[in-house]
Amino acid sequence: MFLLEKAPAKINLTLDVLHKRPDHYHEVEMVMTTIDLADRIELIELQEDIIEIRSENRFVPNDERNLAYRAAKLIKDRYHIKHGVRIYIDKQIPVAAGLAGGSSDAAAVLRGLNRLWSLHISVKELAALGSQIGSDVSFCVYGSTAIARGRGEHITELPAPPSCWVVLAKPEIGVSTQSIYQNLQPNRLIHPDTAGMINAIKDGNYIDVCKKTGNVLESVTLSLYPEVKQIKAQMEKSGADAVLMSGSGPTVFALVQQENRAYRIYNGLRGFCNEVYVVRMLGSSYVG
Ligand SMILES: C[C@](O)(CO)[C@H](O)COP(=O)(O)OP(=O)(O)OC[C@H]1O[C@@H](n2ccc(N)nc2=O)[C@H](O)[C@@H]1O
Ligand SMILES: Nc1ncnc2c1ncn2[C@@H]1O[C@H](COP(=O)(O)OP(=O)(O)OP(=O)(O)O)[C@@H](O)[C@H]1O
C-alpha cells in the first residue's frame, strides 16, 4: 500500500504574544493560513516494523530528529501498529524558514497514516496528537485558516481569506524560534489587532486583511538580522499591499491582488535574495 499527502506551508497573518508561561512557552494568539507552496509526502507501507525517512534535501534529518518520523512513531505506538512505513519527503518548503515546513510534514504523516491504516481518528484527535510534536503541528493538521491559541495548539477554524498572490523571500540565514521568543520583551510589545483581522477575514475584506497584519516577533528578528529588514523594505518599495515576516522568520511575505504586481516584487528582489517564490494563498482545508 502506498499513498501521497500534500504538506502546505503556513504564513502568520497575525502573531501576538499574551504572556510568558511558567512552562517557558509563550501564550500566543495568531491567525494563520496555508499557501500553495507544499512538500509532497509519499507513504509506503513496509512489512518490517521500522520507520524509514528519505529525502534528497541535505538539511532534512533522516532519523528520529525528523518531525515526520516522530509523527509516525506516535501513531504506531498509540495504535499498536506492527507494520512499518517508508516516508519520502519531497522538500519544496525552505527549511528553518518560519513556514512550518517540518510541522506540516508531521501533520501530513498523521493524516496519511490515518488513511493508510484505516484508523478513523478524528481531525480533532489528530491535532491533539500533533501538539505533542510541536506547537505548529495542530494547525497544520487542519491545513486551513485558523486562530491558534494556547502555545499554538488550540485551533478555531476560520473561513478562507480573500484569495491573493503571496510573494515569499527567504534570506540565506537560519533562525532559531527558541532564541527569537527568548529575546522578546513582553512589556514592550505593539500588539496586532487580532479581532480586527478575524472580522476582516469573515467579511472577506482584502484591504482590511492587509491593514490588520502584524507579528510581535518581527521587530526581534529584524533587529538581530539586518538582511531581513532590507528585504522587507525592498518589498514595501515595490508596491505590496502588505509585507510581514512569517512566524519567527526569516521569511518575509508580501500580499498583492494582481499577478503582474507580484512579479514586479519578485523582480525587485533580484540581487537581494536568491530564494523567492510567487504562490497563491490557499486558506481552505485539506481534510475531510
Ligand atoms: C513561531 C511559530 O512558528 C508561529 O507559528 C510558533 O509559535 C512556533 O512553533 P514551533 O516551531 O512548532 O515551536 P516548538 O517546536 O513547539 O517550540 C520551539 C521553541 O519555541 C518557543 N516557543 C514556541 C511556541 C510558543 N507558543 N512559545 C514559545 O516560547 C519555545 O522556546 C520552544 O522551545
Ligand atoms: N520534516 C522536516 N523538514 C524540515 N526540517 C525538519 C524536519 N524535521 C525536522 N526538521 C528540523 O527542524 C528544523 C526547523 O525546520 P522547519 O523547516 O520545520 O522550521 P520552521 O519552518 O522555521 O518551523 P516553524 O515555522 O514551525 O517554527 C530544521 O533545522 C531541521 O533540522
Which residue type is seen at 282? L
Residue 277 has pLDDT above 70, yes or no: yes
User: According to the annotation, is 119 in a ligand binding site?
Assistant: no
What are the pLDDT digits (tens) for 178-210? 999 999 988 889 999 999 999 999 999 999 999
The answer to whether the CB of 135 is under 6 A from ligand 1 is yes
Return the residue whose CA atom lies nearest to atom 13 of ligand 2.
96
Do 24 and 117 reside in the same domain of the chain?
A: yes
Whole-angstrom distance, CA of residue 239 vs CA of residue 261: 7
Query: Can you give the CATH number for the domain in which 27 is found?
Result: 3.30.230.10
CB 175 within 8 A of CB 98: yes
Determine the structural domain holding residue 81 and report its residue range.
2-158
The answer to whether the CB of 103 is under 6 A from ligand 1 is yes
In this structure, what are the phi and psi dihedrals at residue 193, rounded to the nearest 5 degrees? -90, 85
Whole-angstrom distance, CA of residue 12 vs CA of residue 6: 19
Do 216 and 240 reside in the same domain of the chain?
A: yes
Whole-angstrom distance, CA of residue 28 vs CA of residue 149: 5
In a domain, 227, yes or no: yes
Do 200 and 98 reside in the same domain of the chain?
A: no
In this prediction, residue 186 carries a pLDDT of 80
Three-class DSSP category at 281: strand
Taking the CA of 250 as reference, the closest ligand is 2
In this prediction, residue 270 carries a pLDDT of 84
Whole-angstrom distance, CA of residue 281 vs CA of residue 5: 19
The answer to whether the CB of 183 is under 6 A from ligand 1 is no
In this structure, what are the phi and psi dihedrals at residue 232, rounded to the nearest 5 degrees? -60, -45
Last residue of a domain, one of 109, 135, 158: 158
In a domain, 268, yes or no: yes
Do 52 and 131 reside in the same domain of the chain?
A: yes
In a domain, 18, yes or no: yes
In this prediction, residue 120 carries a pLDDT of 98
Do 117 and 182 reside in the same domain of the chain?
A: no
The answer to whether the CB of 179 is under 6 A from ligand 1 is no
Categorize the per-residue pLDDT at 288 as very low, low, confident or very high, splitting at 50, 70 and 90. Answer: very low
In a domain, 286, yes or no: no
What mean pLDDT, rounded, does the chain reach?
Answer: 96
CB 278 within 8 A of CB 262: yes
Query: Can you give the CATH number for the domain in which 169 is found?
Result: 3.30.70.890
CA dihedral 126, 129, 131, 137 (to 10 degrees): -40
Cβ contacts of residue 118 below 8 Å, gap of 6+? none
What are the pLDDT digits (tens) for 220-263? 999 999 999 999 999 999 999 999 999 999 999 999 999 999 99
In this prediction, residue 286 carries a pLDDT of 58
Do 104 and 202 reside in the same domain of the chain?
A: no
Total residue count of the chain as it appears in this document: 288
Segment 164-171 shows an average pLDDT of 97
User: According to the annotation, is 72 in a ligand binding site?
Assistant: no
In this prediction, residue 35 carries a pLDDT of 97
Is 20 among the catalytic positions?
no
Is 211 among the catalytic positions?
no
Do 25 and 128 reside in the same domain of the chain?
A: yes
Number of domains in the chain: 2
In a domain, 275, yes or no: yes
Do 153 and 43 reside in the same domain of the chain?
A: yes
Global model pTM greater than 0.90: yes
